[in-house]
């Protein structure tokens, strides 16, 4: 089977979902040929910078304005129709990729690329099945596009929303969850894992995924929690944020805090942690759910992050840090029953084996059964 997966660089989640699918598909058969393509990058430097760079700039520097744009684009309007028309028009740039690769099936992990592909298909440019992966926990108007054959979603709520708002048949909506790497699905021995990572076995562990936080804000949050969460150890991962890493070096107590930059084994730290402090991106959240790791949400952007946060709190797997992060975390980390309840809720909320279910869907589709 030849599988073409389109993604984009508006945040890391879309790319991680695509990479997780590719990894799984290739383990199922050496005969599968899987290619991942950044679809928005194919449209040219200007549009790619405008979309991807614009998303980062607005979300971080003008979050309230970004939130208004996000809400406004979630309904029928002249602005929304214009934006969708522009996105659909960019399909001509990704058509050569489809024609050259000659896939049996196409997967899209980004709504803008769904619009491009759907427009191409409805105009007769190709007749290849298209599967759209919704990588958040709430539906948005941008995910719907004529020409998309199947939608993979994370919850019944999104399934109902796609059906009620856009008239999509339930037969074409699959509640399979968001795909993550297989290594998040293991259940290692926590004590041994802590030993191998240089962490104390007898202390509760709080994991900070700090790379996308503002520097001054996250330092205040860390200090507030460190001052209030007694007998805890901390793992702070700053990702590729070098400036934040250097600030933390001068700020932390190295006796109870392990400071890291980009790591390729974040699943190990999730598996041995008791609580994660994070922004509610779809993939990080799904990975945390897979590791049965309760979450404390920090500074969700208005828009999809705020929607994700609301969903997670409703499911009982997360709390908002609010304006008293130290007290909030101290109350949770000091309550073993609460932690156990949140961990169990993670298990109930997660759709397990997403990649496997998506793979079986692809087999049915390409066999003419989907």
Beta strands 275-278 and 204-209: pairing type? parallel
Is residue 224 within 8 Å of residue 201, measured between CB atoms? no
Is residue 138 within 8 Å of residue 300, measured between CB atoms? no
Is residue 40 within 8 Å of residue 52, measured between CB atoms? yes
pLDDT at position 181 is 94
The continuous run of DSSP H or E covering 264 comes out as none
Rounded Cα distance, 267 and 9, in Å: 22
**Structural domains of the chain ordered from first start:** 2-178+352-366 (3.40.50.2000), 184-349 (3.40.50.2000)
pLDDT at position 59 is 65
Is residue 276 within 8 Å of residue 295, measured between CB atoms? yes
Residues 6+ apart with CB under 8 A from 282: 13, 17, 135, 136, 137, 154, 178, 304, 308
Ranges of residues in the chain with a pLDDT under 70 are 54-60, 66, 79, 212-216, 369-370
Strand, coil or helix: 275 = strand
pLDDT at position 55 is 66
pLDDT at position 215 is 65
Nearest one of 305, 300, 353 to 135, comparing CA atoms: 305
pLDDT at position 56 is 65
DSSP state of 98: H
Q: In what order do the strands lie in the sheet with 295-297?
A: 257-260, 232-237, 204-209, 275-278, 295-297, 318-320
Compute the CA torsion angle 263, 268, 272, 275 (nearest 10 deg): 50
Rounded Cα distance, 180 and 152, in Å: 14
Rounded Cα distance, 43 and 61, in Å: 25
Q: Taking every pair of C-alpha atoms in the chain, what is the biggest distance, in angstroms? A: 63
| pTM of the complete model | 0.88
DSSP state of 29: -
The continuous run of DSSP H or E covering 233 comes out as strand 232-237
Rounded Cα distance, 153 and 149, in Å: 13
pLDDT at position 231 is 86
DSSP string, 39-62: TTGGG-HHHHIIIIIHHHHHHHH-
DSSP state of 37: E
Helical packing angle, 354-366 and 13-28, nearest 10°: 60
The continuous run of DSSP H or E covering 324 comes out as none
**CA distances (Å), origin 152, targets 10, 26, 361:** 19, 20, 10
pLDDT at position 85 is 83
Q: Give the ranges where the chain is alpha helix by DSSP (H).
A: 13-28, 45-48, 54-61, 63-72, 78-89, 91-101, 111-122, 156-166, 190-197, 215-228, 242-249, 266-271, 282-290, 304-315, 325-333, 336-349, 354-366
pLDDT at position 369 is 53
DSSP state of 302: T
């Amino acid at each position: 089977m030849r599988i073409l997966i389109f993604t984009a660089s508006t945040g890391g989640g879309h790319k991680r979902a695509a990479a997780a699918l590719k990894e799984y598909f290739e383990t199922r058969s050496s005969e599968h040929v899987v290619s991942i393509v950044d679809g928005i990058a194919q449209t040219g430097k200007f549009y790619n910078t405008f979309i991807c760079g614009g998303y980062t700039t607005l979300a971080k520097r003008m979050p309230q304005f970004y939130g208004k744009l996000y809400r406004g684009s979630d309904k029928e309007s002249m602005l929304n129709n214009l934006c969708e028309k522009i996105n659909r028009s960019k399909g001509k740039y990704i058509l050569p990729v489809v024609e050259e690769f000659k896939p049996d099936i196409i997967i899209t992990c980004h709504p803008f690329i769904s619009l491009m592909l759907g427009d191409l298909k409805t105009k007769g440019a190709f007749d290849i099945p298209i599967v759209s992966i919704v990588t958040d926990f709430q539906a948005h108007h941008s995910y719907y596009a004529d020409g998309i054959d199947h939608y993979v979603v994370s919850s019944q709520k999104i399934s109902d929303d796609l059906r009620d708002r856009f008239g999509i048949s339930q037969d074409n909506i699959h509640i399979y969850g968001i795909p993550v790497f297989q290594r998040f699905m293991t259940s290692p021995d926590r004590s041994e894992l802590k030993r191998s990572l240089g962490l104390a076995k007898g202390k509760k562990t709080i994991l900070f995924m700090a790379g996308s936080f503002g520097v001054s804000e996250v330092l205040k949050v860390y200090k507030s929690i460190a001052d209030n969460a007694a007998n805890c150890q901390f793992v702070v991962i700053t990702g590729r944020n070098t400036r934040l890493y250097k600030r933390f070096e001068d700020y932390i107590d190295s006796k109870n805090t392990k400071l890291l930059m980009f790591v390729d084994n974040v699943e190990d730290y999730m598996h041995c942690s008791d609580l994660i402090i994070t922004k509610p991106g779809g993939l990080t959240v799904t990975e945390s759910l897979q590791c049965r790791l309760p979450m404390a949400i920090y500074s969700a952007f208005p828009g999809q992050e705020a929607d994700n946060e609301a969903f997670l709190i409703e499911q009982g797997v997360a709390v908002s840090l609010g304006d008293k992060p130290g007290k909030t975390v101290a109350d949770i980390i000091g309550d073993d029953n609460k932690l156990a309840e949140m961990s169990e809720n993670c298990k109930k909320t997660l759709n397990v084996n997403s990649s496997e279910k998506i793979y079986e869907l692809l087999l049915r589709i390409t066999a003419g059964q989907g």
